[in-house]
Structure 1
Amino acid sequence: MKPITGKPTPTAPLTEKSNFAAEARTMAKKNIREYGMYIALFVIVVVFSFLTDGLFISSRNISNLLDQTGYIAVLAVGMTLVIVIRHIDLSVGYAAGFMGAIAAILMSDAGMSVYLTIPIILVIGIFLGLVNGFLIAKIGIPSFVASLALYLVFRGALLQVTERTGTILVEDERFNALGTGFIPDIATVGGLHVLTLILGAVFILFFIYSDVSKRRNKLKYRFEVISNTMFTIKLVFVSVIIAYITWVLAGYKGFSWTMIIMLAVVAIYHFLTSSTVIGRHIYAVGSNPEAAKLSGISVKKITFIVFGSMGLLSALSGILYTARLNSATTTAGTLFELDAIAAAYVGGVSAAGGVGKVTGSIIGAIVMMSLTNGMNLMGVGISYQYMIRGAVLAAAVIFDVMTRRKRA
């Protein structure tokens, strides 16, 4: 009997489509935590764009929104790692406010250069973070109590250094540019910021190169990967989003220095957590501290590293906030810690530890700030804003608990 040859049967495309749909469903199920926040952000953007007659997605507002997110996003990156190793840090808000005030004093009263002030503040931040780590890792104080104690200390210290005038003005233009300035441009074409377009293109190319490299490594070691079709769709989808945001910002004043710093922090911490031994150890400690200790990982050392990092990012957040206001005030840092914790949870970090990405924390920060920004544009009262943000945080934690139960 001769083999059957000729055109494929009509069922072949249907099988391919069904395989594609099955793979899409499997990906959504496996990565529901990660995809959930992107869906939430998309819904928020669509809803507020409609309710504000397009004002929400204007170039000016998007630029302002991302600048407002900067100092919280930086804190959220550090908070993500703290929660991953099953701890919490309530001191970061007033730590940021206090160190921002010290920076203002060094420049305004002591006449210190901005190039010397910033490194000093960052070193102080690391030291204060290590103090927190010492109380937790060496003394054995629960992180909630230790950070609450430092919360009160930093609150008192901030009031002390600002009690004379209440507000410390910063007149150094180079320092203030970190919070309110934009990157210079090489040219303007059609009203678009060319350097911003170039940086956006570079970022897209870097993203594609990074993902392709990771895929090749997984294939090399025979790990399971998604199909070429699904992988291509993912690359195109993310690249289009980056290109759109870049185009919107290029139509205003381009990337701000706050955004550049925020992206640099995310890139550095993403590399540290996904491609280094320290990153693997952090997640190992978060997943199971006892097993990590038995495998030779120093849990105390990881705790010191994470809290030292949190102190560094608190100092950077304080610098960005002070630069944005061009001053340090007695209320600087108020509720920053809650915004950072909320951003981390909304961004996909697990309350049980061991799960969470720094890239997710940035999306979480943008989600929370988008809610605030959109409600402000609509004139929603502050009392309702707090209730809505609280409901979103509760929903994120409930979602985490439910997804962990399903996996169990």
Structure 2
Amino acid sequence: MTSTKPTEKAELAPSGSAPSVALHAGTSDPRTLIMRNLQQSGIYVAFVALVLLFAFLTDGVLLSPDNITNIVLQYSHILVLAIGMVILIVAGHIDLSVGSVVALTGAVSAVVVIQQDYPWWLGVVAAIAVGVATGAWHGFWVAYVGMPAFIVTLAGMLLFRGLTLQVLDNISLSPFPSQYNDIAIGFLNGLLGGQGYDAFTLLIAAIAVVGYAVSVFRTRLARIRYQQSVESFPLFVARVLLVGAVVMYFAWQLAHSRGLPIVLLILAVLVIAYGLMTQNTVFGRQVYAIGGNLSAATLSGVKVRKVNFWIFVNMGLLAGIAGVIYSARTSGAQPGAGNMFELDAIAAAFIGGAAVAGGVGKVTGAIVGGLFMAVMSNGMQLEGIDQSTQSVVKGLVLLLAVAFDIYNKRRAGATR
């Protein structure tokens, strides 16, 4: 069989999709190349444009060190939920209960630590254990009973909200001890010194940028080796440089505020771990295979029920972690905690490039989508825009993101 040498003008593979064995024919049409490249990197461009817009409208307040730190602290739990949600969406499922699970896990932790006076770390373990149990509950009904995830998790949303009210006895519990609160509002600073800034924060950011560059370059080489489509090399370099510049500027601002937030370190570990899991493991490829073509995945020997069960368990695990982070940030547990969190997580996944039909999506895309929503919310708050208008804008952004995905699919089908 004669091999075909891949070209940088080949058609873009969907971001985060299961590997394809077909190598698309190249094209020299600049407009087509731009459109294909935009489909893959559009969210990054849109995110930078949004940041610049609100930086201008707020006279630079958006990018001030203290405000950037506040964005990290206020929206980290949503980013954790978005990681699990994008994996579910890739597999063709969804979870409407994560907000209620966040409330329940925070409530359990509060009862253990505040009411029963156990050590703070035991509350963390209890919350995560409860989160895993809720995920196993959903996974059983979806994977082994065969019920649609939409119905199962809708029932879970009501069930776990009711359990939260029972656990808390309809009252709020506070405060948590300082060690527990540090999970969400603590900082690492002064470890390496620095004149007016925290050098440790800059070092960690630099390591992260180098790691990202090496990872995406290796991924590109692997795609070329297996004759898969890749983006143009200039765009690839520009994307890496843009991401690196944004991360280092972000770190520079944090270094001039209170240092490296502990919750940001937790989030970074999760992003790296799940990025590697989804892109470089058999389990990750099976998730994409199930979402891309369920029948083909089944015929290929993928244990669909097992995979579906464990991705719901994973969602419960991350919801438990998010519950710990949120309860630590608020230093307590409230019956109404977690309200609408599921919609924020779903929006982050879709804005970040996940496909409605499944099979496409990336953890990094979901994180950027979550940051997009966070910056948009924060910017509108700084501008004094009322809550009702903010909801309207968020709804329109989500609608346009899904419409863009559908447009891309129709356009790709028309050109074949």
TM-score under structure 2 normalisation?
A: 0.89
Task: Tell me the SS of whatever aligns to 1:252.
Answer: coil
In the TM superposition, what is the alpha-carbon distance from 1:234 to its structure 2 partner? 3.3
In the TM superposition, what is the alpha-carbon distance from 1:229 to its structure 2 partner? 4.5
Which ranges in structure 1 are unaligned for 5 or more consecutive residues?
A: 1-20
Say if 1:377 and 1:36 are closer, same or farther in 2 by CA, change over 3 A.
same
Which ranges in structure 2 are unaligned for 5 or more consecutive residues?
A: 1-26
Q: Distance between the aligned counterparts of 2:403 and 2:237, measured in 1?
A: 32
Task: Say yes or no: does 1:342 pair with 2:352.
Answer: no
1:35 to 31, 41, 65: 41
In the TM superposition, what is the alpha-carbon distance from 1:275 to its structure 2 partner? 0.3
In the alignment of these two chains, the number of paired residues is 387
In the TM superposition, what is the alpha-carbon distance from 1:23 to its structure 2 partner? 8.9
- 1:9-408 correspondence to structure 2 within 5 Å: 28-163=34-169, 166-225=171-230, 229-408=234-413
Counterpart amino acid of residue 84 in structure 1: V
2:12 corresponding residue in structure 1: none
Contact conserved, 2:176 with 2:328, CA < 8 A, in 1?
Answer: no
Task: Tell me the SS of whatever aligns to 1:169.
Answer: coil
Contact conserved, 2:111 with 2:168, CA < 8 A, in 1?
Answer: no
TM-superposition CA deviations, 1:164-205 (whole Å, max 9, x none):
5x2111332111001111113214323111110110111112
Q: Distance between the aligned counterparts of 2:116 and 2:106, measured in 1?
A: 15
Q: Distance between the aligned counterparts of 2:174 and 2:405, measured in 1?
A: 43
Contact conserved, 1:34 with 1:347, CA < 8 A, in 2?
Answer: no
Say if 1:40 and 1:225 are closer, same or farther in 2 by CA, change over 3 A.
closer
Q: Distance between the aligned counterparts of 2:321 and 2:302, measured in 1?
A: 29
Q: Distance between the aligned counterparts of 2:151 and 2:231, measured in 1?
A: 44
Say if 1:294 and 1:221 are closer, same or farther in 2 by CA, change over 3 A.
closer
Q: Which moved more, 1:209-218 or 1:354-363?
A: 209-218
Q: Distance between the aligned counterparts of 1:121 and 1:22, measured in 2?
A: 55
**Identity within the alignment, %:** 37
Say if 1:292 and 1:64 are closer, same or farther in 2 by CA, change over 3 A.
same
Task: Tell me the SS of whatever aligns to 1:333.
Answer: coil
Task: Tell me the SS of whatever aligns to 2:173.
Answer: strand
Q: Distance between the aligned counterparts of 2:38 and 2:230, measured in 1?
A: 17
TM-superposition CA deviations, 1:58-107 (whole Å, max 9, x none):
11111111222210011111111111111111111011111011011111
Q: Distance between the aligned counterparts of 2:322 and 2:30, measured in 1?
A: 38
Q: Distance between the aligned counterparts of 1:24 and 1:356, measured in 2?
A: 26
Contact conserved, 1:346 with 1:396, CA < 8 A, in 2?
Answer: yes
TM-superposition CA deviations, 1:104-139 (whole Å, max 9, x none):
111112222223332232222112101101111111
Counterpart amino acid of residue 114 in structure 2: S
Contact conserved, 2:37 with 2:231, CA < 8 A, in 1?
Answer: no
2:16 corresponding residue in structure 1: none
In the TM superposition, what is the alpha-carbon distance from 1:230 to its structure 2 partner? 4.5
Counterpart amino acid of residue 106 in structure 2: G
Q: Distance between the aligned counterparts of 2:99 and 2:229, measured in 1?
A: 41
Q: Which moved more, 1:279-288 or 1:371-380?
A: 371-380
Contact conserved, 1:103 with 1:121, CA < 8 A, in 2?
Answer: yes
Counterpart amino acid of residue 87 in structure 2: L
Counterpart amino acid of residue 254 in structure 1: G
TM-superposition CA deviations, 1:316-347 (whole Å, max 9, x none):
11100000001111110100001111111111
Task: Tell me the SS of whatever aligns to 2:48.
Answer: helix
Counterpart amino acid of residue 182 in structure 2: A
Q: Distance between the aligned counterparts of 1:352 and 1:389, measured in 2?
A: 21
Q: Distance between the aligned counterparts of 1:65 and 1:95, measured in 2?
A: 23
Q: Distance between the aligned counterparts of 2:181 and 2:393, measured in 1?
A: 32
- 1:2-13 correspondence to structure 2 within 5 Å: none
In the TM superposition, what is the alpha-carbon distance from 1:279 to its structure 2 partner? 0.3
Task: Tell me the SS of whatever aligns to 1:188.
Answer: coil
Q: In terms of Rg, which structure is larger?
A: 1
